[in-house]
Chain A
Amino acid sequence: GAGVSQSPSNKVTEKGKDVELRCDPISGHTALYWYRQRLGQGLEFLIYFQGNSAPDKSGLPSDRFSAERTGESVSTLTIQRTQQEDSAVYLCASSESYEQYFGPGTRLTVT
């Protein structure tokens, strides 16, 4: 079956611009996660959606970052007024129990 998909796969943007990253989870997965991975680093938790519960936003690094999820489907991560330190791979994962399945990621480069 289809896995987690993310778009775009690569995004180059100028400092100060806003960007939107999209994640399509596996159908039926109630949980959806966003992570950031800087080069050579581990995964940094950003935000977690579980069903209709309020999302856990505790990992968002600043108020420039926000995310939405429509029901138990698509999620978008928005970064406003991008900065060079936002350059990273943004990974989305979905889950129905213990195992998280990761998408291929979006590589964001802020110039």
Chain B
Amino acid sequence: QKEVEQNSGPLSVPEGAIASLNCTYSDRGSQSFFWYRQYSGKSPELIMFIYSNGDKEDGRFTAQLNKASQYVSLLIRDSQPSDSATYLCAVRGSNTGKLIFGQGTTLQVKP
């Protein structure tokens, strides 16, 4: 079992719709959770991080964490073509500073 799992996609949504990206992790002691966006040929950039159960909202983005289910998600409201990218989920385990990344989900927003 991979430590951090994501559906590779592609996930295709129409412009204006809600995109839902999901991630599961295996280390129950994981402390904090990150969503990065990576455009083709570019480096990852942080969108959001979350470390408490529940929802965290920032503009059009909402991160959701459920530690009991070992599940974290990212919702993108009013999706735009410029949101088309690969979204990487990353998890920081207990007693460590390193991040373990999933393989990423490719999102395509169709105009």
A: residues with CB less than 8 A from B are: 31, 33, 35, 41-45, 48, 50, 56, 58-59, 91, 95, 98-100, 102-105
Contacts and interface: CB of A to CB of B under 8 A. Distances in A.
Given A91-B44, A102-B44, A105-B43, 20 more contacts: A31-B97, A33-B98, A41-B103, A42-B6, A42-B101, A43-B88, A48-B96, A48-B98, A56-B96, A58-B98, A91-B43, A95-B97, A98-B32, A98-B34, A98-B49, A99-B49, A100-B99, A103-B43, A104-B42, A104-B43
Contacts of B97: 31, 48, 50, 56, 95
- A interface, over-half SS: strand
A83 B105 CA distance: 29
Contacts of B100: 45
19 contacts: A31-B97, A33-B98, A33-B99, A41-B104, A42-B4, A42-B102, A43-B44, A43-B90, A43-B99, A45-B98, A45-B100, A45-B101, A48-B97, A59-B98, A98-B32, A98-B49, A100-B99, A103-B43, A104-B42
Interface in B22-58: 32, 34, 42-46, 49
B99 to A, nearest CB: 7
A42 B99 contact: no
Contacts of A102: 43-45
Interface centre among A50, A95, A102 (most CB of B within 10 A): A102
Contacts of B6: 42
Contacts of A99: 46, 49
A80 B100 CA distance: 25
A15 to B, nearest CB: 25
The 8 closest A-B pairs by CB, nearest first: A42-B103, A102-B43, A43-B101, A42-B101, A48-B98, A42-B104, A99-B46, A102-B44
A41 B6 CA distance: 11
Contacts of A104: 42-43
Nearest to A30: B97
